[in-house]
A and B are shown apart, each in its own frame.
Chain A
Amino acid sequence: MRSLPEADSGVPDIRSPLHYLWWTARRQTLPLLMGIGFAILWMLVQALMPAVLGKGIDAVTAKDTEGLLLWSGVLLGLGLIQALSGIMRHRMAVYNWLAAAYRTVQLTSKHAAKLGATLPKRLSTGEVVSVGNSDIAHIGNAMDILLRGTGSVLAIVAVTVILISASLPLGLLVLFGVPIMAAAVGPLLRPLHRRQQAQRELSGELSTRAADIVAGLRVLRGIGGEQVFADRYRSGSQRLRQAGVRVSVVESVLEGAQIVLPGLLIAIVTGIGATFAVAGDIPTGQLVSFYLYAVFLIGPMRTLTEAADKLTKGHVAAGRVIGILSIEPEVTGGTGTSEGGVLRDSYSGVTLQPGMLTAVAAAEPDDAIVIADRLGRYADGDVTFGTVELRTLPIEEVRSRILVADNGARLFNGRLRDELDVRGKATDEEVRRALHAACATDIVEALPDGLDAEVAEAGREFSGGQQQRLRLARALLADPEVLILVEPTSAVDAHSEARIAERLAEARAGRTTMICTTSPLVLDRVDHVMYVADGRVLAEGTHRQLLDSSPEYAATVTRGED
């Protein structure tokens, strides 16, 4: 078994869900074939056991000690082979399951990273969560069942052949009886799945409700209302209980049917066998074999039902996966180069002079975001960088030279220092300086492990203001040629905001920086301010100049104060 993960996850075939599953299987042909081989051996050995046991009983009946020793030995040998082939089959099954699931994780993760900003626009969170939660497992299951499924088919064939050689009608009975028995439970499956679906939905709803209570617990503890929530949870919990009982009403019938239906087969096969035995056509031992064959067939029959279910689910899961893999990035780049210089958005007129700290104060906050997205090439626009059109540059280059840092950019889980220094080349001194500039030193100092602390849950353990300051430190450490900060201090207190504004100029000295903000504490400390209304620059100058010359600007930044 090769070690996982594979270094190269390959280029998937995303023409259809079946193509994807087939491609996945092809990527692991050898382990799959080996697994199927062991599964067949394992099932065939089990299919042979009733015959051997029958021979043993015959030897007992005949008081043939030599024969008894022989067949007991064979039975033990078969048991040994079954145990060994069983574990090998299991090992290969696990390997194939993991290989397929891991590969899907690699592909989805890689593609998500490639899509970047396009992804959130094209995909709901629910679809994404489903990939991680269940789809990779379903794809793994689809590979796993190929092993046992093939083994089961061959075992049924083998038993049929054995029975036909003993008696044609008996063999035909099994040949047609088994699929009919397997299909007979079919009508139960639909209501079962419907009720299970209802149960899953209620269960999901209930855990959402519980998570909701936990997430809002601090709010509740602030003003009360616990009883209301306890009662609501209780009624949801009781509904789930009812749904669970409704599932088991059908499920228990299915359980019973899976005893009664094969039981019918067992009774008929044993009856026919008994007729032969009474007539002396077969030895009594073979009668026992017939009975055991019928009992044995229950296993492979269930496996076939399981296979149908797992392959269907795998197909649906593969469909969702290729749904993600077939999304193409919305924004593409060219092959041009730029010396850098002035970055200008011609629609709004926002112009960033190299090396300057520019602020964009927009009457409508969304306008600033739209402009930032165009300047950072997250949206198409007429933007020039130096003397060339921004759209002609390779997208990778744009991303590494122009960084748009917005408040939606999450912190990733990991060691805090690594998550701040995303380019991985900052010195301790640089990290210290960035934290200082972002007024985030106290956050790190309060952590028991300081910079070595692990960020968990997207940094949700930090308050909103703390997350914002850490994000700012991260953006500063990335040290891009052009840094565009969207509302970087919106959740920070006035004291810290003033300090950050002060230190930002120093931290970005000589580099091009734009800040989208309406805070006078920040605007007062930048080199140049552009006032944007209706998507276009209406006035520009220093904060003081604009306060005097533009009443609209003054109204925007002094927050309607009288």
Chain B
Amino acid sequence: MAREILPVADRKQVRAYARRLTLKYPRALATALALHGLAAVAGLVVPWQLGRLVEDIQHGTPVNVAVVAAAIGVFLLLQGVLTRYAVLASAKLGEKVLAELREEFVDRVLGLPLSTVERAGSGDLITRTSRDVDALSRTVRHAVPETLIAVVTFTITIGALLLVSPLIMLPMLVAGPMIAISTRWYLRRARDGYLRENAAYADMTEGLAETVEGARAVEALGLRERRRLRTDRDIARSYAAERYTLRLRTTWYPAVELGYVIPVVAALLVGGLFYTNSWVELDQVTTATLYAQQLIDPLDRFLMWIDELQVGAASMARLLGVANVPDDRSATTARPAGELLEATDVRYAYREGRDVLHGVSLTVRPGERLAMVGPSGAGKSTLGRLLAGIHGPRTGSVTVGGAPLVELPLDALRGHVALVTQEHHVFKGTLRDNLLIARPDAPDPAVLKALEAVDALDWVQGLPSGLDTEVGSGGLAVPPAQAQQLALARLVLADPHTLVLDEATSLIDPRAARHLERSLAAVLEGRTVIAIAHRLYTAHDADRVAVVEDGRISELGAHEDLVAEGGSYAALWRSWHGTPTATPS
């Protein structure tokens, strides 16, 4: 069922975006870098002083030890203070950029074309909003500043080495190729390795969560052994992935660690030999050796974080990819004249070559209540979505007042047609927040009236905090039936001319559902209602019934007429109503 519909941005896009982000606040970036640079310089003073000290003692020059020790202390204090402000400055910048990144992403998600949202399902998007945003946060909070600091410190230390003695620095360069080659080798394999490792680890923890959440089903269906095998298999897969990256590190770590020691040995040995030949001074040898030692830390930081940068780039590619979804509607200047909803010879396919609607034509008069019934998979919901303007038809047209639905801007479309499905999502927030979604300025009396229309007023008033009750994830758990009532109350508040209700009362207790539908009908008097019905009394109460079978409307007419005609609707009705008859199958 993995339906990869949402695109992923390519490397070029990611790079361009990262560059834009980095350079968006040049002053803040320059400040942070300058502070880090100064801190690095302060840190370099101590080995230099030490070198001088060694030289002076060697030559018997009188030294004031207290002054030297105090100077070392002062410079390290300076380094500490500068580091403090440097870290703070880059963290502030990072948080700012990060906030922009995630806000832009959510804006993009909220602007996704309706048809993509409908088709893609929530899985991929949820992964992107949770895992990818988290991964990118880690990268921006830690990896980016750490690598930046490392690069600055490394560069300045190399600069200091050059100042002290280019001659001694020269032999240190032999470590360069060793580190560079092994790192290149490692990075080529690391990203995929870690992605696989993370995925396998996530599979394992998800498997655990599945066993725990579905514990009753595990017991009922006797799945204990199967879950054990699944756990062991997940662990084995995770272990294999871990072993792979461990093998990469087993080659890479010793190579770079040896690469760290070589410059120190080279500085000492070659510097010492040069000193013996009097080409350099003793303080140069000491300082250079200590600097070589001091190079290890930034280099190590840089190498440790660089693959995290790759992971962050992969996440960024998926976040940016959402912007690559092409828009599926092109608003024109067509505006509806009237509210007559008309579908003409409509065909639609989710997958090429497999039409689920085969030339459906249907006219819904303003103010009419139309019920659609039919077996699952017959195309009822698809037709409902086309009538609500969610999808455009492959061929044919769906128009309201003569204007094609897909040519209306979103806001205008929703003033005409709104869709409520059986999906009963309750948003995190108060009940009021949940109801005001479509009409943020509605006053409380209107909200209460809407709740009354869907029979939910008693329930809401029975809650301790009434409309201010916190619901959704982390708040009060709203039972599915009440969630559907809320969805309908939202719709009442939104008050469009035409409503498409796709099994919008399916989770409500049957008897209550019928009462609700009747009170809803009273409020919606004069509105056009297309109800995809799950229970037959909905059809019974409607003005007309459309029976959808195999992507076609096979019967259309008033309830009594269809029953009198004795077709498949009549058979179903009789069976439901308890009159003996041949059963449909």
Nearest Cβ on chain A to B551's Cβ, whole angstroms: 12
Contacts of B118 in A (CB 8 A): 218, 221
Total A-B pairs, Cβ < 8 A? 506
- A91 and B246: CB pair below 8 A? yes
Contacts of B206 in A (CB 8 A): 132, 413
Q: Which chain A residue has the least Cβ–Cβ distance from B549?
A: A495
- A98 and B242: CB pair below 8 A? yes
- A410 and B217: CB pair below 8 A? yes
Q: Does A160 contact B (CB under 8 A)?
A: no
Contacts of B58 in A (CB 8 A): 61, 284
- A422 and B221: CB pair below 8 A? yes
Given contacts A60-B285, A76-B265, A211-B129, contact A216 B427 (CB under 8 A): yes
Stretch at the interface among B154-162, B185-193, B224-232: B224-232
- A208 and B216: CB pair below 8 A? no
Q: Does B421 contact A (CB under 8 A)?
A: yes
Stretch at the interface among B95-103, B305-313, B398-406, B452-460: B95-103
Instruction: Please tell me which one of the listed residues A214, A423, A502 contacts residue B585 in the complex, with CB atoms under 8 A apart.
Output: A502
Given contacts A76-B261, A274-B63, A412-B223, contact A288 B54 (CB under 8 A): yes
Give A75 to B390 CA distance when docked, in angstroms: 72
- A220 and B437: CB pair below 8 A? yes
Given contacts A213-B110, A288-B286, contact A248 B91 (CB under 8 A): yes
Q: Does A189 contact B (CB under 8 A)?
A: no
Give A410 to B208 CA distance when docked, in angstroms: 14
Nearest Cβ on chain A to B554's Cβ, whole angstroms: 12
Q: Which chain B residue has the least Cβ–Cβ distance from A65?
A: B276
Given contacts A207-B130, A218-B421, A222-B420, contact A125 B117 (CB under 8 A): no
Give A115 to B224 CA distance when docked, in angstroms: 10
Give A423 to B226 CA distance when docked, in angstroms: 9
Q: Does B388 contact A (CB under 8 A)?
A: yes
Give A424 to B222 CA distance when docked, in angstroms: 11
Given contacts A132-B205, A237-B102, A267-B69, contact A496 B376 (CB under 8 A): yes
Q: Does B44 contact A (CB under 8 A)?
A: no
Contacts of B204 in A (CB 8 A): 105
Instruction: Please tell me which one of the listed residues B99, B209, B269, B572 contacts residue A72 in the complex, with CB atoms under 8 A apart.
Output: B269
Instruction: Please tell me which one of the listed residues A234, A424, A494, A519 contacts residue B572 in the complex, with CB atoms under 8 A apart.
Output: A494
Instruction: Please tell me which one of the listed residues B95, B208, B269 contacts residue A241 in the complex, with CB atoms under 8 A apart.
Output: B95
Q: Would you list which residues of chain A between 37 and 88 have a CB under 8 Å from chain B?
A: 53, 56-57, 59-61, 63, 65, 68-69, 71-72, 75-76, 78-80, 82-84, 86-87
Q: Does B165 contact A (CB under 8 A)?
A: no
Give A335 to B154 CA distance when docked, in angstroms: 73
Give A405 to B72 CA distance when docked, in angstroms: 75
- B515 and A560: CB pair below 8 A? yes
Give A408 to B290 CA distance when docked, in angstroms: 66
Binary A-proximity of B562-585 (CB < 8 A = 1, otherwise 0): 000000000010011110000111
Give A211 to B492 CA distance when docked, in angstroms: 26
Given contacts A117-B215, A132-B205, contact A399 B506 (CB under 8 A): no
Contacts of A424 in B (CB 8 A): 226
Binary B-proximity of A450-476 (CB < 8 A = 1, otherwise 0): 000111111011011110010000100
Contacts of A465 in B (CB 8 A): 376, 503, 506
Kindly name the residue among A409, A493, A560 whose own CB sees the greatest number of chain B CB atoms within 10 A: A493
Give A56 to B265 CA distance when docked, in angstroms: 9
Q: Which chain B residue has the least Cβ–Cβ distance from A110?
A: B228
Q: Would you list which residues of chain A between 181 and 233 have a CB under 8 Å from chain B?
A: 203, 206-226, 228-230, 232-233
Stretch at the interface among A167-175, A250-258, A303-311, A425-433: A250-258
Binary A-proximity of B82-95 (CB < 8 A = 1, otherwise 0): 01111110011011
Stretch at the interface among A16-24, A149-157, A439-447: A439-447
Number of A residues with CB within 8 Å of any CB on chain B: 173
Contacts of A409 in B (CB 8 A): 214, 216-217, 220-221
Give A90 to B373 CA distance when docked, in angstroms: 65
- B253 and A83: CB pair below 8 A? yes
Q: Would you list which residues of chain A between 96 and 153 have a CB under 8 Å from chain B?
A: 98, 102, 105-106, 108-110, 112-120, 123, 125, 128-129, 131-133, 136
Give A473 to B487 CA distance when docked, in angstroms: 31
- A263 and B209: CB pair below 8 A? no
Given contacts A65-B276, A257-B80, A520-B578, contact A266 B46 (CB under 8 A): yes
Nearest Cβ on chain B to A207's Cβ, whole angstroms: 5
Given contacts A208-B428, A215-B122, A218-B421, contact A287 B53 (CB under 8 A): yes
Q: Which chain B residue has the least Cβ–Cβ distance from A376?
A: B220
Nearest Cβ on chain A to B423's Cβ, whole angstroms: 6
Q: Does A393 contact B (CB under 8 A)?
A: no
Given contacts A75-B268, A208-B474, contact A220 B110 (CB under 8 A): yes
Given contacts A82-B261, A559-B514, contact A218 B423 (CB under 8 A): yes
Nearest Cβ on chain B to A289's Cβ, whole angstroms: 11
Contacts of B559 in A (CB 8 A): none
- A255 and B265: CB pair below 8 A? no
Nearest Cβ on chain B to A324's Cβ, whole angstroms: 8
Nearest Cβ on chain B to A507's Cβ, whole angstroms: 14
Instruction: Please tell me which one of the listed residues A209, A446, A491, A496 contacts residue B375 in the complex, with CB atoms under 8 A apart.
Output: A496
- A456 and B2: CB pair below 8 A? yes
Further contacts, 10 of them, CB under 8 A, given A113-B224, A439-B375: A53-B293, A61-B54, A123-B212, A213-B106, A222-B418, A237-B106, A403-B221, A413-B210, A464-B506, A493-B534
